[in-house]
Structure 1
């Protein structure tokens, strides 16, 4: 449903405000993908603490983790909002975002988007708490509200005759609203934990828990991954053409709902693997089997979307944007690879596993970005997707699969040793 409504949003923007406004909308919506590192990777510490707690309502370690994270997130909020205001005051937004930013509304719209994003950091971890509690269905339902809210705001703008330059701001406000609902539900589910942590965060006498052992490798991933993979729109805006940007953006819009579902399902595995890790046992689900399931489901979805892409692009752009077969196939392969590597990544969410992933992602960064910049003149919109495919395959899927296999083998060996020792003691 979100995918269909997203197509409707695209069509309304193009019909009522034009291709240039659509290009700016897509570019500004992508800002959040470029700076997810703004929370310093603290959600990893929160998820592990919630998943590992026997009673999240009263667990002291969870309280101290939340105290530390709330303090740090407040600093992140101030930093992001300050950067937004500085970029606006100095007139640097057009230099930073390129030609897709319209002169009339672009700078102010970008400032408002980034400011709302900054304030949202204070409450965005609510969805992670819900996921760690096993309430993934609630997270999915809340996330499904995003596109309907944007569509409602867009309809209101059209009816009121307002300009379309600030449509992206509505998307960020919708995200903030969803985060607000999630944090309210999470606070109720672990009550009185969140209130206690908030009081501790403002009390300078309370010393928080150590969080950067898991946060810093997650931070590296959150810095490197967007630069390597989510900067495609920005690179196309700077190196390619507006046509390249709009083709890539529409194809991404068609296929991205599959990744959204995979991401949500993948996060549901995090607390399962974290709980098994804390008890030293095998998880009830195998990361290898889940990888095959994820890849198979993604392949089926990609084939359906590729087959329907002609109709979807016609509905979305009124025939103004044409998607070539190489771009569609490239996105399909990328979706399958991303889906296949997700369970392995969720299995490696302890401190050492996150460090392992972080180092490989740092290696992926120059390869992916270099390929994208080099290939855009020849391949256009396909270039960023091809760079992402190579990066994910050689720097995420293969290394993560190898380490997970080693860990599972070591776990089985320890389990067998315990059984042998126990049997020997009984016989004695």
Structure 2
């Protein structure tokens, strides 16, 4: 609980900074470049969310091992697991770079970007952004290590530098008055993210007793330094990691294919606020994972996630009501009065983040090996339902379709099944069974 509160506090601070910086960034781009350039920017900065499975789920093993380890510095199994996870990330980064190059050479990026591809040089901008993202992936284990150590507030604070640094770089780029550089504005966000990853890797190395530098030195010698089994948890976790980008990021690209650049821009502006709230919930919720795991391994788990789930949902519902009241002023400020965000879109996004807030504590409560495996089918069904309903209803509902589709899908395919699973397996989840 202490870690959750600290994480929430850190996220509140960084969210406030990120929101201000996001508003200023949006105003800069909309005011000095235009709606088409902002639509491209919002699509490209969403790409990392579409590839949130860069460790193929293997990082979950590191979180659980660190949370339950008595001596992180001298845990031989943990050391082998860290080496394996870093090798997985390197292979993924290399594969992503190959696909990125193929998309550039074949014109595939123009198809992916849809209506945002009208911006000159959009495909080159996407290629450059993905090259930087591949470098960031190679360092990605730092977040798992700090989470397992119970230092998620540090993760949040380090990630908090991304928005201010991105704003600074966007301001510098627009200040050149070079028309050719406007399509490359998203590079600011990817550069800032890479800087945060470098700092995070250094910090995680310090707190884990040189676990990461030692693993990095062993990467190129698989025979001398074999890894460990990680994909028994990794494959089920991968299915969940796939479901998140499919459900939360792919709909933005569906809008780009079946709707106008204006709709994409509206989605991006509304997302400035509601995805920030979602990140706040995630910051508090993810700390429950190692906390539940640690308490269960020590036989100290007494309370379930029910009340926490209700509290999370109530907080998001109340926040949505506040946003609804100040919506015209808030979104006018964010968009420099270039876009209108109606109350129906605010309520749709509010419903989406509220049901996800209710889900988070339930999901974190069942992050043991059997629980992770159970979550595979509900998560994939939720993602498939979200994408299908979005495609089906975009022609009639427009920008409202993605958040409403996700809200309905989460309730039907995750919230209800998770609650049922926790009730049915209460003895095991509370540590009453071996």
Aligned mate of 2:66, from 28, 31, 50: 50
Change (3 A) 1:270 1:33: same
Alignment match of 1:131 (pick from 123, 144, 147): 147
Give per-residue Cα distances to partners, 1:55-74, cap 9 Å, x unaligned.
11111121011011111111
- The equivalent of 2:288 in structure 1 is 269
For residues 51-130 of structure 1, the aligned pairs below 5 Å read 51-130=67-146
**Map of 1:355 onto structure 2:** 373
Question: How big is the shift at 1:136?
Answer: 2.0
**Which residue pairs with 2:360 in the alignment?**
342
Quote the RMSD (CA, aligned, Å): 1.7
Shift of 1:225: 2.6
Cα distance in 1, alignment partners of residues 21 and 247 from structure 2 = 28
Q: Indicate which of 232, 244, 259 corresponds to 2:278.
A: 259
Match of residue 318 from structure 1: 336
Partner of 2:199: 181
Give the conservation status (yes or no) of the 8 Å contact 1:64–1:207. Answer: yes
**TM-aligned CA deviation for residue 413 of structure 1:** 8.9
- Which 4+ stretches in 1 moved above 3 angstroms? 409-415
- Determine if the alignment matches structure 1 residue 39 to structure 2 residue 55: yes
User: Contact 2:36–2:119 at 8 Å: present in 1 too?
Assistant: no
- How far off is 1:123 after superposition? 0.8
Residue 411 of structure 1 deviates from its aligned partner by: 5.2
Q: Distance in 2 between matches of 1:103 and 1:292?
A: 44
Q: Which residue of 2 aligns with 1:209?
A: 228
Instruction: Compare CA radii of gyration and give the structure with the larger one.
Output: 1
The two structures have a TM-score, normalised by structure 2, of 0.91
C-alpha separation in 1, matches of 2:321 and 2:58:
36
Contact 1:227 1:365 in 2 (8 A): yes
Cα distance between partner residues in 2 of 1:13 and 1:53: 47
Q: Verify the 8 A CA contact 2:296 2:430 in the aligned structure 1.
A: no
User: For residues 325-369 of structure 1, what are the alpha-carbon distances to aligned partners after superposition, in whole Å with 9 as ceiling and x for unaligned?
Assistant: 111111111111111100111112122211111111222233221
* Corresponding residue pairs, total: 415
Q: How far 1:103 moved relative to its partner? A: 4.4
Gapped regions of structure 1 (runs ≥ 5): 419-428
* Residue aligning to 1:425: none
Alpha-carbon shift at residue 409 of structure 1 (Å):
4.0
